Every structure is written in structure tokens, then in C-alpha cells.
Amino acid sequence: MEPVDTRRADLAARAYASVLGWPLVVGYRHRPRQGCTCGDPTCPTPGAHPAPGPLRYPGPTEFARQLEDAPGAALIAPTVYFDALIVSKRIGMSLMVELDHIAPVPCLFDGGRAVLLLLPATGRYALSPRMPAEVRSGPDQWIALPPSHGVHWDTHPWVDRTTSPVELLHGRDVSWHLDYAYKCELEEARK
């Protein structure tokens, strides 16, 4: 398999659907100097979120038409085939260094946040009570995927040059490493 160009929405969407089996929704777009097409001038995630309400999944033909009609629109994936563990980018980068010793963990950066993909319904096991993190899980939750505005992969969710998805870790496998990365971040902040 040739490397997937996640800068092109049509190619990225094809890989997300065919390699990973993820359903997708077309989201809002970001317009330079104009902001998000949602119309909110203070939109916190311009061009990287879905329309309000429940996610509605079009068929492949309708999805392709929607994507063609909205160049630059966000690609939105519901958190049904994975849980999304969302932490600050600094903690996420420290965590990725730790996890690289275990296994590749799909991770994307979305502004100042890192989003790690874990086995579905296991993200909550990664958290400790004082942890400044968020877990998105289930069909009513979502993440924006590259090439959505401001979103890019650090570690792809497929094995490079193959059509095999990366095996996702259980939240328990991440817990100790996340706690360690958080403690290191606290110590660094105290200096």
C-alpha cells in the first residue's frame, strides 16, 4: 500500500473507511480570515467539528457528494471503533515517548491537544481521579480526523505501507504511563 496522503480529504476518507472501517460524517469548514462555517465568531474548533445534533451517517455516494460540495470540510469519526483519550499536547508527547516502547498508539494532534486512540469502552481505565484528561466514547461522541483544520497525525492508525490497522491498546495498558507523564509535567512546571 502506498502511504496515505491525509492532506487530501477524499484519499484520507477512503483509507479511514476501507482500511479501518470507520463511518464518517462531513463537518464544518474553516475559511481563512472568516473562521468556521458554523457562523460562531468565537468557535473554539473552527473547521473541525460536526453540525449540532446526532451524527447522521450518509452512504458512500452521498458522503462523496457532500465532501465534493464542501471543499476543506472536516472529517468527523464517531468514537464507536475506538475511545479517544484527550490530553494536553505536552502530556501527550511525553506519553507517546513512553508508549513507543510498548506498541505504536494512533495519536493525532488537534491544536494544543493530543488525541490517543484506545480500544473501545476502555478509555476510562486510563484515567486517575486527578488527571486533566477527557475520554470520548460511544456513538454520540466524535473526533475530527486529518485533514480537518488544525488536525494532523503523529502516529497513523494503520501499519505503514500495509492495509492493516494498528492494534489498539486497552486503557489499563496506558494508565501507568499516562500517570507518569502527568507527574513529569507537574515536576517540570514547578521548576
191 residues of the chain, pLDDT tens digit each: 566 778 889 889 988 998 899 999 999 999 888 899 999 999 988 989 998 888 888 888 888 899 999 888 999 999 999 999 999 999 999 999 989 888 999 999 998 999 999 999 999 999 988 888 999 999 999 999 999 999 999 999 998 877 789 999 999 999 999 999 998 888 888 87
In a domain, residue 33? The reply is yes
Q: Is 45 left (phi over 0), alpha (psi -120 to 50) or beta?
A: beta
The total of structural domains in the chain comes to 1
pLDDT at 1: 56
In a domain, residue 160? The reply is yes
Strands (E), the chain: 25-31, 35-36, 73-88, 107-110, 113-118, 134-145, 151-155
pLDDT at 156: 92
**Beta bridge partners of residue 75, listed in sequence order:** 26, 145
In a domain, residue 44? The reply is yes
CB contact set of 28 (below 8 Å; sequence gap of 6+):
36, 37, 38, 46, 47, 48, 49, 50, 51, 73, 74
Cell numbers linked to 137 = 466514547
pLDDT at 58: 87
In a domain, residue 21? The reply is yes
In a domain, residue 4? The reply is no
| Cβ proximity of 84 and 124 under 8 Å | no
Cell numbers linked to 34 = 472568516
In a domain, residue 3? The reply is no
How far from each other are the two terminal CA atoms of the chain, in whole angstroms? 47
What is the domain range of residue 130?
A: 9-190
Q: What share of the chain is helix, strand, coil (3-state, %, to 5)?
A: 30, 30, 45
pLDDT at 2: 66
pLDDT at 81: 96
pLDDT at 53: 84
pTM to 2 decimal places: 0.92
Q: How far apart are CA 161 and CA 143, in angstroms?
A: 24
